[in-house]
Amino acid sequence: MDKEFIITIFSENRVGLLSQITTVFTHRNVNIESLTASESAIDGIFKHTIIVKNDPEKVANLVKQIEKKIDVLKVFCYTPNEVVLQELALYKVQRSRNVEDLVRKHNVRILDIHDDYIVLEKTGHKEEIRELYHMLEPYGVYQLVCSGQVAIIKSRRELLDEYLSQVNELKKKILNE
């Protein structure tokens, strides 16, 4: 049974690393639903958030294969209820009274106004973004772009920090040997 998983990958910031990571997915014929990458809160460490829908065992193996990449520090894999997921979407929509009503009702930000179109921003779950799109569609959506989903874990534990302090201990031990 396919299930949704949120895979967060912490890595060194190295040229070509993203392509190494995505190779692991293509090699095992796993489709990526969403991918975001940016610097993490820790200097010099990059964070990639990848969402997949697949068989749990296959995902567990995939996670190990990613972690095997030399420049990958640590990989965590979560189910949707362990994280808060958000995505940002921009809509370029034809101006009309109906659109302005929707904007008010759905707590949407207006970023830019032109004579014939407006640019809207909506942050939310994938479904909410889809839903708004369907509502705007009858009034003319010129363009929709989505950022890909970002995730933050609900647990208070900072797993990467814990990992890094373990690694530091190990480093001291090895270099003192």
Contact 96, 26 (CB under 8 A): no
Residues 6+ apart with CB under 8 A from 93: 99, 117, 118, 119, 120, 136, 139, 140, 141, 142
Nearer to another protein, 66 or 99 (CB): 66
- Non-local CB neighbours of 120 within 8 Å, separated by 6+ positions: 90, 91, 93, 103, 108, 109, 110, 111, 136
Closest CA to 149 of 49, 70, 75, 8: 49
CB of 76 to another protein, least distance (A): 15
Q: Which residues pair with 120 in a beta bridge?
A: 91, 110
- 128 near another protein (CB under 8 A): no
Of positions 2, 39, 71, 162, contacts another protein by CB under 8 A = 71
Applying CB under 8 A, among 52, 73, 77, 132 the residue interacting with another protein is 73
Residues in contact with 74: Cβ distance below 8 Å, sequence separation at least 6, in sequence order: 9, 10, 67, 159, 160, 163
Chain positions 132 to 171 lying near another protein, rule: CB under 8 A, are: 164, 167, 170-171
**Which stretch, 12-20, 77-85, 93-101, 110-118, contacts another protein (CB under 8 A)?**
12-20
Whichever of 68 and 154 has its CB closer to another protein, that residue is: 68
Cα 138–chain centre separation: 29
Among 3, 53, 64, 109, binds another protein (CB under 8 A): 64
* Interface pattern 21-60 for another protein (x via CB under 8 A): --x---x-----------------------------x--x
* Total of residues contacting another protein (CB under 8 A): 25
Q: Which residues lie near another protein (CB under 8 A)?
A: 11-12, 15-16, 19-20, 23, 27, 57, 60-61, 64-65, 67-68, 70-73, 164, 167, 170-171, 174-175
